[in-house]
Chains A and B, each alone.
Chain A
Amino acid sequence: MKTNKLTPYLFLLPGLIILGAFIFYPMLQAFWLSMTDYNMIADAEFVGTTNYENLFQDDLFWKTLTNTFIYLIGVVPALVIIPIFLAVLVNQKLKGIGFFRSAYYIPVVTSLVVAGIAWDWVYKENGLLNYVLDILNIISEPIHWLTSTQTAIFAVMVVTIWKGLGYYMIIYLAGLQSIPNDLYEAADIDGANWWQKVTRVTIPMLMPFVLIVTIMSSIAAMKVFEEIYIMTGGGPLHSSETLVFYIYTEAFDRLNMGYASAAGVVLFLITLVLSIINIKFMGKDNTA
């Protein structure tokens, strides 16, 4: 086995150049920028922790951080639990089941811009959703889903959940199909009913997948941007504005690059905590 000592590094080179130029160097620069005042025109000026101090005194920052957590609390449980039921449903041996699996996956492959427009139209005052709720006698007058401070963030949340369901369903489907059949046969012999099989066999065996989905969906929820940008623009009155939306507008509308970077660092730290929890769990279970 004679190879040149440089060989492994040559193979790694293109990838490492990209990661260096577009991840590692930018990361250092993001930390540095967060301690400067920079507007893309004048040179960056070092201001120490001023950006962070201003950030923590900015009500809008706290508002967007709170919204991000509301998002997290709303989206994650839905994306952890509902796809389990969908996966069980499409794991049945039924004719045409492939069609349903594909149909549930379509929102995953569609761009968020199309999805946002489709839901925008569903949410219109005279639209489909108000009509359906009206004939079901759930509401007595139309709700302004995307233009009311009470409902906007939740309306957008539904779109995030709807778009993610199929993806996590497939992860659970992989989990379901990895459960050995003899566990169910043994349960049958013990006279277990459907519900007992679900709670005693399926759910325990799915736990590693539940953890993966929990972390994946919480990191995704932290970074929500497109739905908000397309459907509400953060409004009304910032009621649906999330942290990433705030970073985007500070950086690219107001050109407060340093200040926006400080908000980015906060986002990074929160994501880091979620990721560390992730690795702890994944480290514990390599079988998943």
Chain B
Amino acid sequence: MAISKAKANNPIIKKFFLYMLLIVVTIFMIGPFLWLLSTALKSGSENIFQYPPKLLPESPTLTNFVKVMDTFPFWRYLFNSVVVAVLTVFLNVLFCSLAAYPLARMKFRGKNTIFILVLSTMMIPFQLLMIPVYIISLKLGLQNTYMGMVLPHVTTAFGVFLMRQAFLTVPKELDESARMDGANSFQIWWRILMPLVKPSMVTLMIFTFVSAWGDFLWPLIIVNDQDMFTLPLGLNMLQGTFTSDWRLIAAGAIISMIPIIVFFLFLQRFFIKGAMNGAIKG
């Protein structure tokens, strides 16, 4: 007891154990990706099904990546994913901020009802709506279009709520004095409020981007033209096509993972901060 207490109080040993623990968890969290990467780097002559499994490739090669790029229209899917994600983010921030402005700073009839109505949409699972939304989208001619993938997600209760909370923190005197200077409501929203709520906007942008980027169920339903596939859809099909060649599946998965990882590494500060903001405010 006395010894273990001394141990626990020794800062170097404590640090050592903490780092060991951190590393073990890291292996669990990114291990599956590293194992996939190792498989993608193994050459055709190496048996990838051998037991015990070889953690490192004998002679690492990029041929699987080259091969998969020939059959997997990565750039096309990447382009589609980028268009869908950017459009979703842009329209979402725009519509949610527009709607949040009167809800935060104006008095009008039906304000509470509208706010509650908007919030209540959080309780409705998309999985209940997907059938009628599919039928409506077909009628609107949205099948196999970017707009079809984007429109159902461009206003969210979370976004309206987050932006409303952000607008509420801006002192009211600011818009009053702008109004005295002759600014109209639109100018107040665009010139005064929007620049002041950038952190919340970034939070909303990142959240929307990640969910649009990873979205699978809705694109799976609304898109059947392979030219319109996003990366997750393309990858899912790749998995079906190369059931026997795991090297190629692994290479395709690694390639399609790169864009979001790069995006994340550039913005990781905002990710963690944004997620924390979202948690506190949401």
Interface residues of chain A, those whose CB is within 8 Å of chain B, are: 1, 3, 5, 7-9, 11-12, 14-16, 18-19, 21-27, 29-30, 33, 40, 86, 89-90, 92, 94, 97-98, 100-115, 117-119, 121-122, 124, 126-128, 131, 134-135, 162, 165-167, 170-171, 173-175, 177-178, 194, 209, 212, 219, 222-223, 225-226, 229-230, 244, 247-248, 251-252, 257, 260-261, 264-265, 267-268, 271-272, 275, 288
Contact = CB atoms under 8 A, between A and B. Distances in A.
Contacts of B102: 7-9, 11-12
Interface stretch (B45-53, B58-66, B67-75): B45-53
Given A11-B189, A252-B221, 7 more contacts: A8-B108, A18-B152, A94-B22, A114-B257, A178-B280, A223-B126, A275-B123
Contacts of A271: 123-125
B29 A16 contact: no
Nearest to A111: B214
B25 A104 contact: yes
Nearest to B27: A103
Nearest to A172: B279
B166 interface: no
Interface residues of B, number: 91
Given A22-B136, A30-B128, A94-B18, A109 B261 contact: yes
A89 B18 contact: yes
B8 interface: yes
Given A30-B131, A121-B246, A94 B235 contact: no
Given A11-B102, A14-B155, A247-B127, A212 B279 contact: yes
Contact of A131 (B51, B216, B231, B260): B51
B185 A107 contact: no
Contacts of A226: 216-217
